[in-house]
Structure 1
Amino acid sequence: MSLRVGVIGGGQLARMMIAPAVELGIDIRVLAEGEGMSAAIAASAVGDYRDADTVLAFARDVDVITFDHEHVPQPVLRALIEAGVAVHPGPDALQYAQDKLVMRSRLAELGIPQPDWAAVSDVAQLQGFLDDHNGRAVVKTPRGGYDGKGVRVISHAEEAADWFATLAEDARGGDLLVEELVSFRRELAQQIARTPSGEMLAYPVVETVQRDGVCAEVIAPAPHAAARLAEVAREIGEGIAEGLGVTGMLAVELFETDDDRVLVNELAMRPHNSGHWSQDGSITSQFEQHLRAVLDLPLGATATRQPWAVMVNILGGPAEGGLAQRMPAALAAHTGVKVHTYGKDPRPGRKVGHVTATGVDLDDVCYDARAVAAHFA
């Protein structure tokens, strides 16, 4: 009988797990939030991931539950564990991806390098942090933010007054997270795969390019990354995976600072945009690796197939005609570039697909990937 994986969430990450699941003979099932989601082809159920009964019913006939996102509430995750369902990553690990304040506190305990930060409960405390950090800082909502949402760069504490008011109305209450505004030369990302039995493999550290808080491009491996930088990024990733008990894929977003430090920015415990290049650029894609890891199967090799891989996101998509109308010209323009679409309707700033180019000359690879992505603008 096939191994059975249940994925909670029907977005593009679940969609991109389907092909490797088929290749490995894994029975993949998806609990989608609604009809017509990206992973609809594998959606065996549609329902509310915040409802324990719905999730327990979905999990009844699978060997392991994993995720397309980190938003499943802790009580639902605990209900799965109590029912004897294997959950990877488990609730003890996922709490650190669900709450940035909890994450920052635990990373501090582990001695992981990160920006200076504080939990602040009111405008006065936030202003005090600003005064101690050259009058500028990054303020974040601890829960629910992604792709630039829930993040503000501020110079005055009153700029976050509305967020404090919202927290005051939230039954969960809590504080805001404030961090020093890091002066960095570039952003990096480190992917780590870890199995329940403790096998761990790292992918090459990559450079990510953000525009308006959204990942626009990824270059793998990161150019001009000295051996020591790659080693430090890998050690940070492995230390977090081990220290937090992560199972499956872990993505660690990093700052390479102007004074040569490497600091942790964000975490994701699932396949991640910064690892999409691996679909066409690595021996084992992050999507196959995640399935291997959560099922405690031997991990696959993480080496690159070519010296360089460049992934460019298709953001927004064409206002008229959709991606399909643009596809023939895009495919004809650079026949060596791979195009992946997510089955989403175009919307400004929305990730509706990505393209990946590979090769031996970085300038050529960048040009090819950007040129094909531009056909869908």
Structure 2
Amino acid sequence: MMAPAAHELGINLQILAESPEVCAVQVVPHAPVGDYTDLDQLRAFAAGVDVLTFDHEHVPTQFLETLIDEGVNVQPRPAALVHAQEKLEMRKAVERLGLPNPRWAEVASVDDLVSFGDEIGWPVVLKTPRGGYDGKGVLIVKTAEDARGGEASTWFDQLGQREDFSTLLAEQKVPFTRELSALVARRDSGEVRPWPVAESIQVNSVCDEVIAPAPGLDPAVAQAAADAAVRLATELGVTGVMAAELFEVPGTEHGFLINELAMRPHNSGHWTQDGSHTSQFEQHLRAVLNWPLGETAVKDEVAIMKNFLGGANEDIFGKIPEAVEAEPAAKVHFYGKGVKPGRKIGHVNIGGSAAETESLRAAVTRAARIISDGHA
């Protein structure tokens, strides 16, 4: 999705593709297939580029540091990126900066987990420090008995077999009312621009819908959330787009707690493609190249994004005309991925007045269902 923005700005975008079937290969002329966990292949791909950036956080940090030592312009730097790769490092940074964290602990054993749960109250959330997304690597542990006899115990038993981490992250189960996303972009010069804080609606631990700005959000909480994202981006030295995923918790000091960070264009920011003066994809390119950043205000009063997943309909392309006929104001973005049940394969955007929010939500839902299920 960065390709159209790159083309419009005259940027020669190249990608290191994991396989010939990766959807970006369809739209990026120079897309050699390679392994991002192989230093020699990374080194060969990076030769001659002005800047090396990412669309996920899984490139080994030590390889990025080697490339920097060899003169490659890597953005964001691994010292910042590690806070999106490693949840324990993220928690420590949020605490160090005095920003709102849930209660948390680094745990190395079932006994550690039980002590934490007994201290703050059950249930608790157990997370793998690396590799989790869309609900993967996350386990709700309801009681001390579950910790000692359930899946949590298996997680600890397997720690000795892991090379990527040796402890786990335990967190309080936050009594949040909804999830929010504070999206921000920063460039090396220090210029930072946040987008309006959005509401992110999850279904089965997968982002389903995003509404920007978040309806009914206390302006003071919205400002505090945006300020927290700006401070994180600034203090951690982020370049490019960063999403701070938040829990709204009314009645607490700040009104929210920080959940996780992502340092790349993020699903919660896809609404910006049609709903903001500058999309997150264009902004990321500007930021990593240290170009001036674009305006981030919402074009209309509200912008809505609805994901569509793989469902009953396998002829996605055949249903897009029906979807746009049913909802002419909707903008469909299909990723060109193979259709698999539950897999994110595209999204629909729409914008309008705040008074129309519910009818706009119904419109993008209708268009998304036509595409994924074959009928409204």
Q: Which TM-score bucket, shorter chain as reference?
A: over 0.9
Pick aligned residue for 1:268 from 233, 245, 262: 262
Counterpart of 1:22 in structure 2 is 7
In structure 2, what is the Cα distance between the partners aligned to 1:321 and 1:272? 26
How far 1:164 sits from its partner (Å)?
A: 1.3
Quote how far apart the aligned CAs of 1:173 are.
4.5
Matching residue of 1:10:
none
CA contact (8 A) 1:130 1:157 kept: no
CA distance in 2, matches of 1:333, 1:172: 48
Structure 1 CA distance, aligned partners of 2:280 and 2:345? 19
- The one of 369, 373, 376 equivalent to 1:374 is 369
Aligned residues, how many?
361
SS at match of 2:16: strand
1:240 correspondence with 2:225: no
Match of residue 230, structure 1, among 209, 222, 230: 222
Q: Partner of 1:64: helix, strand, or coil?
A: coil
Structure-to-structure mapping, 1:1-377, within 5 angstroms: 16-40=1-25, 41-42=27-28, 43-155=30-142, 156-158=146-148, 159=150, 160-260=152-252, 261-318=255-312, 320-360=313-353, 361-375=356-370, 376-377=372-373
SS of the residue corresponding to residue 31 of structure 1 reads coil
Give 1:85 deviation, angstroms. 0.7
Deviation for aligned residue 1:35: 0.9
For the residue of structure 2 that corresponds to 1:26, the secondary structure is coil
Taking the aligned partners of 1:278 and 1:329, their CA distance within structure 2 comes to: 24
Structure 2 gaps, min length 5: none
Q: Which has the higher strand share?
A: 1
Is the 2:240–2:287 contact (alpha carbons within 8 Å) kept by the matching residues of 1?
yes
Report deviation, 1:281: 0.2
Amino acid at match of 1:291: L
Secondary structure of the residue aligned to 1:129 is: helix
Are 2:180 and 2:197, in contact at CA under 8 Å, matched by a contact in 1?
yes
Q: Kindly, what percent of the aligned residue pairs are identical?
A: 48
Counterpart Cα distance in 2 of 1:39 and 1:162: 38
**Contact 2:129–2:165 (Cα < 8 Å) also in 1:** no
* Cα offsets for 1:189-240 (capped at 9, x unmatched): 0011000110000100000001111100000110012221111011110111
Q: Specify the code of the residue in structure 2 equivalent to 1:349.
A: G
CA deviation after TM superposition for structure 1 residue 172, in Å = 4.4
Q: Take 2:178 and 2:302, find their aligned partners in 1: how far apart are those partners?
A: 18
Contact kept? 1:308, 1:365, Cα under 8 Å: no
Supply the distance in 2 between the matched residues of 1:178 and 1:243 (Cα, whole angstroms): 25
> Unaligned stretches of 5+ in structure 1?
1-15
Q: Secondary structure at the match of 1:44?
A: coil
Question: Alpha-carbon deviation of 1:346?
Answer: 1.5
Q: State whether residues 339 and 345 of structure 2, in contact with CA within 8 Å, keep that contact through their aligned partners in structure 1.
A: yes
CA RMSD of aligned residues (A): 1.1
Contact 2:197 2:222 in 1 (8 A): yes
Once the 2 structures are TM-superposed, how far is the Cα of residue 63 of structure 1 from its aligned partner? 0.2
User: Which digits, 9 at most, give the CA deviation of each residue in 1:44-103, with x for residues without a partner?
Assistant: 211000111101110112100000100000121011101101111011001111110111
C-alpha offsets along residues 311-369 of structure 1, whole Å, 9 cap, x if unaligned? 01002233x43311221211110111000011111112211000011111111211111
Counterpart residue type for residue 270 of structure 2: H
8 Å CA contact 2:314–2:339 kept in 1: the answer is: no
In structure 2, distance between residues paired with 1:86 and 1:285: 23
User: Using a 3 Å threshold, how does the CA distance of structure 1 residues 356 and 173 change in structure 2: closer, same or farther?
Assistant: closer
C-alpha contact (below 8 Å) 2:130/2:164 kept by paired residues: no
Q: Which runs of 4+ in 1 moved over 6 A?
A: none
Q: Which amino acid aligns with 1:363?
A: E
1:317–1:323 CA contact under 8 A, matched in 2: no
Shift of 1:166: 2.1
**2:345 aligns to what SS in structure 1?**
strand
| Residues 159-199 of structure 1: per-residue CA shift (max 9 Å, x gap) | 31121122211134411101000001111000110001100
Residue type at the aligned position of 1:171: E
Moved more, 186-195 or 35-44: 35-44
